Amino acid sequence: MKLRRVILLAVIAFGSCLLSQAQIARSGERPTESGGLRMAELLQLPTYRAPQFDQDSARLEMEQSSADLRAYLFAHTIEVGLDIIQDGEHTQWSDGTEVWRYRVRSQGAKSLGFFFDQWKLPRGAYLYIYSTLDPTRCLGGFGWENNNERASLPIQPILADDVVIELQAPKGSRPRLHLQELYHGVRSIEGLLRYSNPQVGSPRNLACTPEVACYPEYQDVARSVVVVVTGSGYLGTGVLVNNTSSDGRPLILTASHVMEANFSNGLLSPKRLEEEAEKSVFFFNYQTPMCDSGIQPSTTQSIAGAKMLGCHPFTDVALLELNVVAPPADYQAYYAGWNAEPKMDVAHANIHHPYGYTKRINLALSPLNYSTYSGSGLPFGENQHIKVPFWDLGTTASGSSGSPLLDPEHRITGVLSGGESYCGNRSHDFFASLQRVWESEDAEARKIVAALDPSGAKATTCAGKGASQGGEQAPVRLTNMRIAPSNTRVIELLPQLDRAKLLGSDQGVQEIGESYRMAAGSKVYGVYVMLSGEAQSGDELVVNIYGNGGATHLGSQAVSLESLVTDPKNKGKQVPGAFKEIYLRLPSPVEVTTDQVLCFAIPTATIPQGISVVHQQHSDLAANSAMWRVANEWQPYTKYQQSGGLTLWVDPVVSNATLKSPTLAEPRLKITPLNGEQMLLKINDPSGSATYSLQAYSLLGEPIYSDQCEGSDFFVFPRNMFEGLGVVILRVSGDGWQESVKALFPKN
């Protein structure tokens, strides 16, 4: 018998207060007996074969449906009606565990999503859904923590067309598990579910749209933006929004058409909208931690199910409430503010998930205006939309629908309906206006206003807020990495040590770790680890947490590396150098009782052969934060390797982190590529000068370019005039100060 179980120490026991319907899945490899299913056993399983349909016609219809509207329709709904308990294969393991299995096939599907309309699991029961071709490609386990009043649960898609639904439950259990609908992926959503083979960068039609991580000033409000995957097969964007009571009510603002596949036909029945909300899944924090599209972030932070509070097709605005009391603390949720009296002559930003890819940002520097967004079958009223005539940075795409338009204070003024922008022509897009919702007397519009302004004080603005609770500071992701936004891929900025040298194979190193100074009262909720390489089936990663500089063992957690296993369909080929983020969520937070140094460590013996922990080397020994455990004693990495310091890309999620590792001072000037044609020079000026002037010089002092701006804190300038000049000096003057920054434009 071979039973694989999650590694948990008693100091980190499962808590009993986990939130319902957060699509909570326990970490670690799927438990199996005798190595899992053999082919002969697989062939004998009861099998549901989805009816075939014309996928080419469906694909064409989907492409046409999102030509102007910017929701991404990717899935075809199939009514199933499958009772897994009654009709599935029922076996019992030697330890008494009862197992039900049912095979589900939908030939040619690029992905499969699921909606269980009967869901009730006893404590200790877990559901897994895994590919028959590659069992390491697995969703789950989803357990009793996901029980809810509606007794239903949507499950995010998996990249497979042939899966096994497997329920493991304690002996004598009476679970309920009924699959109502199957969502056959006709179009790809690999932007969201890339697994081990992410595209380096992003599709060509997103090349001009940078990662939101490239703009640190937007990092708070960026945490409010989510991917929305609906039951009708739409993928769009939504935003967690604050209300005037600032009570943490989990409200999601999006576009009406994201929630209804038949929107363009005017078929918006309340019952259908409620069903769509219930079947939807919302992904938080799907964004790169650094300014590089080649990094594959974790997709483990999701919430399943919501209820519809108001849907106003006349303006294309919808408001939902998630089926949780609040997003889990380690989601680091931010509740965006809003402004129903926007100024049209100021710069605006847009944060979104085009095609379901990682979170991107657009900037519009020119004045906006009200306009009519019209199209065949669209129910929008006259002058109900805010028109963005031109994007100075970025563009929207299918999947961006529902994303927020943000004013200079990062408050929502509208949500995206559609438009015609793309990288070759960054004009124009239309956003459903909150102001028009506030002005409307329609019953659905009033429901939206009442939820966002529950006091009834007729407020037209609301500030954003972090998700602090009970006096506790909201958790934040700490990092010791020092990588400034750049147009160079992160992997090229981080030359990696030989694996044997990193792990100290010749030094007898037992564990490698990253150290952080924590204050008394801090709480550790989880740990991000950035990895490179290729895992094998069954590989796991273990992280230990030590306090008092390594003297006290506080806990341990394991996570499956299934997302790093090479896709068999790709014939074993991997994208070279792709970095992949793994998140280990602790079942309950580790509390820090005194000011001390914590070490987040990985036993070297447990690191799979093909895997390495991404790291950054420093020429300065003082910049070291990495630790080695040799002969059961923790010492700085520099004691054994004195050529320089080292930082492991191991980032804890911590609340009350008042003694976090020091961060670099925000530079006065920061230059960032906007796209292949333009550069952005951002000014950090606490005094807020009224006017700034820009002068560009060669190293010889020859003037190249000059500009002046008033009322904004950035310059946008063409990069083609600098190409091939080598080092260029950019000098900015404000009120009473002058500062320069160097930029490199390599010579041909």
Q: What HEC string does 341-403 produce?
A: CCCCCCCEEEEECHHHCCCEEEEECCCCEEECCCCCCCCCCCCCEEEECCCCECCCCCCCCCC
- Cross-strand bridge partners of residue 636: 627
Which pTM value belongs to this model? 0.82
User: What digits encode the pLDDT tens for the residues 536-561?
Assistant: 877 889 999 999 888 899 988 988 88
Q: What is the pLDDT of residue 262?
A: 61
Quote the pLDDT of residue 200.
44
Instruction: Say if residue 6's pLDDT is above 50.
Output: no
Residue with tokens 């952080």: 516
Q: Which residues pair with 743 in a beta bridge?
A: 728
Top-ranked range on mean pLDDT: pick from 18-22, 92-96, 531-535, 674-678: 92-96
Region 345-367: what's the mean pLDDT?
93
Residue of higher predicted confidence among 108 and 684 = 108
Tokens of 454: 């529950």
Mean pLDDT of 495-519: 93
Those residues whose C-beta lies under 8 Å from the C-beta of residue 745, and which sit 6 or more positions away, are: 719, 722, 723, 724, 725, 726, 727, 728
Q: Are 624 and 512 in contact (CB under 8 A)?
A: no
Strand, helix or coil for residue 585: strand
Q: What radius of gyration, in Å, describes the C-alpha atoms of the chain?
A: 26
Q: Name residue 29's amino acid.
A: E
CB–CB of 261/234 below 8 Å? yes
Residue type, 693: S
Q: How far apart are CA 11 and CA 26, in angstroms?
A: 17
Lowest mean pLDDT among 286-290, 354-358, 362-366, 683-687: 683-687
Mean pLDDT for the stretch of residues 190-199: 58
> How far is 360 from 362, CA to CA, in rounded Å?
7
Distance CA 671, CA 402 (A): 30
Name 513's bridge partners: 601, 627
| Contact call for residues 542 and 558 (beta carbons, < 8 A) | yes
Q: What percent of the chain has pLDDT over 90?
A: 51
Q: Dihedral of the CA atoms 654, 561, 613, 195 (nearest 10)?
A: -90
- Is the pLDDT at 734 greater than 60, yes or no? yes
| 167, β-bridge pairs | 100, 127
Q: Encode 105-173 in three state secondary structure.
A: ECCCCCCEEEEEEEEECCCCCEEEEEECCCCCCEEEEEEHHHCCCCCCEEEEEECCCEEEEEEEECCCC
Q: Above 60 in pLDDT, residue 3?
A: no
**Rounded to whole angstroms, how far apart are CA atoms 638 and 282?**
43
Residue ranges of alpha helices (H) inside 66-171 are: 84-87
| DSSP 8-state assignment for residue 594 | S
Q: What is the mean pLDDT of the chain?
A: 85
Amino acid occupying residue 600 = F
Q: If DSSP codes are grouped into helix, strand and coil, which group holds residue 132?
A: coil
Buried b (16+ CB within 10 A) or exposed e, 417-447: bbbebbbeebbebbbbbbbbbbebeeebbeb
pLDDT at 186 over 60: yes
Statement: residue 381 has pLDDT above 90: no
Structure confidence at residue 214 (pLDDT): 85
> What's the rounded Cα separation, in Å, for the pair 230 and 260?
8
- Pairing, β 509-518 against β 476-477: unpaired
- Least-confidence region, from 78-87, 148-157, 247-256: 148-157
3-state helix, strand, coil in the chain (%, to 5): 15, 40, 45
**At residue 573, does pLDDT exceed 50?**
no
Question: Quick one: pLDDT at residue 567?
Answer: 58
* Cα dihedral 395, 400, 406, 410 sign: negative
Q: Which amino acid is at 30?
A: R
740's tokens: 């320069």
| Residue whose C-alpha is closest to residue 356's, from 582, 202, 485, 575 | 202
Residue 368: name the closest of 349, 353, 354, 351 by CA. 349
User: From CA 21, how far away is CA 51, in angstroms rounded?
Assistant: 30
User: How does 68-89 read in b/e, with b if 16+ C-beta sit within 10 Å?
Assistant: bbbbbbbbbbbebebebbeebb
CA distance 563 to 557: 17
Percent of the chain at pLDDT > 70 equals: 87
From CA 256, how far away is CA 432, in angstroms rounded? 10
Q: Tell whether the model's pLDDT for residue 516 goes beyond 50.
A: yes
Residue 370 has what pLDDT? 96
The structure tokens 């909570």 sit at 24
Looking at the predicted structure, is the pLDDT value of residue 235 above 70? Answer: yes
Whether 237 contacts 228, CB under 8 Å: yes
- 494, 605 Cβ separation under 8 angstroms: no
The predicted pLDDT at position 285 comes to 95
